[in-house]
Structure 1
């Protein structure tokens, strides 16, 4: 049984889709890189699209310019990366020069969505096998066989997926607004001068402490090398985040972790109780009358990296950074500030989950539409 029969097709209209080669449907221009001596940061020069670094969320983000024009791409063209990672896409909005890491395709958004469906089917991966560097050539792209419906059906498909893209874009925009809102709060709540701070109708002065006055530190006894099974009900975290579930935990209260050596040294994370961290990190716990949520966000305003030592294995010690001076309000104000930031982070996390879920929903529909 063929793969086409195994996967359900999503169709607006039952009609026969004709088989066509991409090169017969669209003009394809392979990129050619200008000399690096002609690169510039001058926006009066021509935008240079070189590869994946110039594509973000389906759009071209100008990064480098060139005074030497080799191959051109125009607004409305589809940009496809042809070198690792192969298959990333964007709609061009500029008169641009294209380097050898991309090609430009004169096709409509139906072609764009069709090409988008190919990456998750590993089509580009198969085509690039055997090359020294992961890449595809002009013949690979021109000889791609596509199934093409009528113009009317193409328009239905374009409108359908454009609506999903619009939802993703709106969610991403809202997420970006919350990022900026959080940055505004961080800058103004933790302002250096009391007169510039955002307050919650509190008037008491903030008092100065050293970190050692408000935090205690505890090291984990867990080594990741000792844990082989992914069992149990308690999450274990490492420098890069969640690692596995284990059958015991070291902490029965909320805590802050800091990576004390190696990769990610100095990184802070907040963890809820009934979880553990590996011994590349330490637990930071608040002393009495200090709110852990407030302290977590306050710590993010401190440049802890200046306390990092070592070159081969960088490390940071509490005995060094515990002397850092900080200003702290009353416990009531700490709690209100901490809750505000927690609420903002929860909103951002939910938006991010919604973005990811909508993107996965779109992927599934692309797979069914372009079987």
Structure 2
């Protein structure tokens, strides 16, 4: 229900009334700023202490170990709240075990009510008020201790914590379902493209043996945007497909495109329906040469300059099948081998086009595409379900805390 009193949440359990008490976080919780061990003590030995240094170590409200340390500087006990204090500020997790925290993190020895309050604080974008530095965002321990927190009595506090804990558990269960679907997809792709799992024709008969052809024999390639400068981007009547779009999605998203100005007499390559798009470089060899496919009809669509396009010209090839197999573990291993570099890894277009791919007949290609499309739809629906639950939680956080 709505209440216009000061320091009272907009939405509240009906059995409670009265204003919440305003306190400083440092007065109701023990706050410990992290201190990084010397790097010479870092180790991959999992018997040593987990080191938490920042956002990369915190996912879905939990600690995900990456580095271990033989030198313990600031120790955090199981159940403490972990808060990132350097860019990005405000990411949260609960320590599931005793860990060492580096200078990118602080610990807050308090209950789950504080955790949910800080989650709302982050959602509302309030950390920027405390953030220091123009190029590197950070907050100090002094500012965290001065942070004002409004507290109900312990009974109401427990009701709120129980409510959000159940909501978190529901989200967690749905995320587990999503992970299982994604693992199932990986398993099916592995079996399909290694030919352990085969489809049958309409009469229940086996399809013919698969052939092999190089990509070069299946179509032609073209380059992305060339000769453009910073001033050409952000306006105009044309669009380009971003690097991130190609890297992230097997089927490119129509949302991840940006404006670019193309002059009337420029010689640029347009992206057409069912063109395959391939990245040429990445920070690791395992992420180089990622492929995507464009499944939209657009008159003025181009490709970013860090990718190249491939257009199938052979009638007995379904381009979506080709995009799928290029993302398979078998092809990814071979693409990784040809990635070269030290700080950034590049894939030679000519070398990539020499790769031979296994090709069933067109009918079986389409059976494979339909099968994987159905799994993708299930994954997409499950992702939407999780997003809706998270939005619901966000709404409750904004209304049930002051």
TM-score (norm: length of structure 2): 0.78
- Give the aligned partner of residue 174 of structure 1: 177
Select the residue among 46, 56, 63 that pairs with 1:60. Answer: 63
**Cα distance between partner residues in 2 of 1:277 and 1:309:** 26
Q: Are 2:266 and 1:243 equivalent residues in the alignment? A: no
Q: Provide the alpha-carbon RMSD of the alignment.
A: 3.4
CA contact (8 A) 1:54 1:61 kept: yes
**Cα distance between partner residues in 1 of 2:156 and 2:81:** 20
Matched length? 360
- Give the aligned partner of residue 368 of structure 2: 337
Q: Are 2:12 and 1:11 equivalent residues in the alignment? A: yes
Q: Deviations over 1:149-179 (max 9, x none)?
A: 1222212211222222122212221221122
After TM superposition, list the pairs within 5 Å mapping 1:112-131 onto structure 2.
112-130=115-133
Relative to structure 1, the CA distance from residue 75 to residue 211 in structure 2 (aligned partners, 3 Å threshold; closer, same or farther) is: same
CA contact (8 A) 2:241 2:304 kept: no
CA contact (8 A) 2:271 2:309 kept: no
Select the residue among 302, 307, 311 that pairs with 1:277. Answer: 302
- Give the aligned partner of residue 99 of structure 1: 102
After TM superposition, list the pairs within 5 Å mapping 1:355-370 onto structure 2.
355-370=386-401
Select the residue among 265, 272, 292 that pairs with 2:319. Answer: 292
Q: Are 2:164 and 1:161 equivalent residues in the alignment? A: yes
After TM superposition, list the pairs within 5 Å mapping 1:304-323 onto structure 2.
304=335, 316-317=348-349, 319-323=350-354
Shift of 1:48: 2.0
Deviates more, 1:93-102 or 1:244-253: 244-253
Q: Deviations over 1:319-341 (max 9, x none)?
A: 54333222211222111111112
Shift of 1:181: 1.4
**Cα distance between partner residues in 2 of 1:322 and 1:298:** 14
Specify every segment of 5 or more residues in structure 2 that has no aligned partner in the other structure, as ranges: 201-205, 246-255, 263-268
Shift of 1:14: 3.5
Shift of 1:19: 0.6
Relative to structure 1, the CA distance from residue 73 to residue 131 in structure 2 (aligned partners, 3 Å threshold; closer, same or farther) is: farther
Select the residue among 204, 208, 221 that pairs with 1:204. Answer: 208
Deviates more, 1:7-16 or 1:36-45: 7-16
Shift of 1:207: 1.4
Deviates more, 1:215-224 or 1:105-114: 215-224
Shift of 1:34: 2.7
Q: What SS does structure 2 have at the residue aligned with 1:266?
A: coil
Shift of 1:36: 2.6
After TM superposition, list the pairs within 5 Å mapping 1:211-250 onto structure 2.
211-218=215-222, 229=235, 236-241=240-245, 242-244=256-258
CA contact (8 A) 2:276 2:294 kept: yes
**Cα distance between partner residues in 1 of 2:336 and 2:175:** 30
Relative to structure 1, the CA distance from residue 266 to residue 141 in structure 2 (aligned partners, 3 Å threshold; closer, same or farther) is: same
Q: What SS does structure 2 have at the residue aligned with 1:186?
A: helix
- Give the aligned partner of residue 134 of structure 1: 137
Q: Deviations over 1:34-89 (max 9, x none)?
A: 33333222222222222222211100112222233332211111111222222111
**Cα distance between partner residues in 2 of 1:293 and 1:147:** 54
**Cα distance between partner residues in 2 of 1:310 and 1:96:** 36
Relative to structure 1, the CA distance from residue 211 to residue 347 in structure 2 (aligned partners, 3 Å threshold; closer, same or farther) is: same
Relative to structure 1, the CA distance from residue 261 to residue 282 in structure 2 (aligned partners, 3 Å threshold; closer, same or farther) is: farther
CA contact (8 A) 2:339 2:345 kept: no
Shift of 1:252: 6.2
Q: Are 2:257 and 1:256 equivalent residues in the alignment? A: no
CA contact (8 A) 1:210 1:322 kept: yes
Specify every segment of 5 or more residues in structure 1 that has no aligned partner in the other structure, as ranges: none
Shift of 1:265: 6.7
CA contact (8 A) 2:207 2:364 kept: no
CA contact (8 A) 1:223 1:279 kept: no
CA contact (8 A) 1:224 1:278 kept: no
TM-score (norm: length of structure 1): 0.84
Q: What SS does structure 2 have at the residue aligned with 1:258?
A: strand
Deviates more, 1:341-350 or 1:86-95: 341-350
